[in-house]
Amino acid sequence: MFQNKSDHPRHRGRPRSRSDKETRDHIVSVANEGFRSSGYANSAMSTIFHVSGISTKTMYRLFPGKAELLAEVISRQIHRFLMEIDLATLRDLDVREGLTRLMTTYGILTLSEDAVRMAKLVVAESARFPEVSAAFYDRAIVPTNKIIECWLGERMETGELSIDSPVEASGILRGMMIMEPQRASLLLKQRAMTPDETRRRASECVDCFLCGRSNAQ
């Protein structure tokens, strides 16, 4: 069971009250550690609010249930990806450079150690807890797919890419980028990829994908 790593001597005087945002951030941090170390099933809400030092009333006001808490943990991981992808900036790059940058960021999101841990949790818990797979699909898969599909669709409309469907092309790219290394990591056959390794793989995947599909080679 996860432990409270934030224990420290208490100072005298009235403690500073946290804002709801600060409280949510603290709860999510504790829950993320709990999910990673103990799994979803073994991370009880009562344990989370005990470790976080948050009252039951406040906890349930901010997060009605454990599924909502897991969804927020996932959303914050995805938010970093969305913040790093600026479609306006990518529009100024040529096809190869823009797609390489897009796939590199996607790869770092999905092939990092934290991402592999989350994927293991989803695989392990989804059969017993459908809300786990639902949260992962809605908060992680859908928004990242849309970003890639949108970029591909724009390049298809300008004639820079010769593809029939942005959705199908996105699936091909994502499969090339992450399927083998992610599966190897999940099965403990390979460590999580470093950012440099991810960048090299992204470049190779883009070169392979663009062969015969780009009018701007």
Looking at residue 2, its pLDDT comes to 53
Q: Which residues contact 202 (CB under 8 A, 6 or more apart)?
A: 100, 103, 104, 106, 107, 177
Q: How many CB atoms lie under 10 A from the CB of residue 25? A: 14
Answer whether residue 25 shows pLDDT above 80. Answer: yes
Question: pLDDT band for position 124 (50/70/90)?
Answer: confident
The residue with greater pLDDT, 203 or 1, is 203
Interhelix angle 113-125/166-186, rounded to 10 degrees, is 90
Q: What single-letter DSSP state applies at residue 68?
A: H
Looking at residue 170, its pLDDT comes to 95
Looking at residue 212, its pLDDT comes to 57
Answer whether residue 12 shows pLDDT above 70. Answer: no
The residue with greater pLDDT, 27 or 80, is 27
SS3 helix, strand, coil % of the chain, rounded to 5? Answer: 70, 0, 30
Average pLDDT over residues 77-82: 75
Answer whether residue 178 shows pLDDT above 70. Answer: yes
Answer whether residue 13 shows pLDDT above 50. Answer: no
Average pLDDT over residues 100-106: 92
SS3 assignment, position 191: coil
Answer whether residue 153 shows pLDDT above 90. Answer: yes
The residue with greater pLDDT, 59 or 10, is 59
Q: What is the pTM of this model?
A: 0.75
Which structural domains are found in the chain, ordered by start?
A: 20-62 (1.10.10), 66-210 (1.10.357.10)
Distance (Å, whole) CA 107 – CA 138: 19
Looking at residue 7, its pLDDT comes to 44
Within 13 Å, how many C-alpha atoms sit on residue 120's CB side?
18
Looking at residue 38, its pLDDT comes to 87
Residues in the chain: 217
Q: Which of 158, 156, 160, 183 is nearest to 168 (CA)?
A: 156
Looking at residue 193, its pLDDT comes to 84
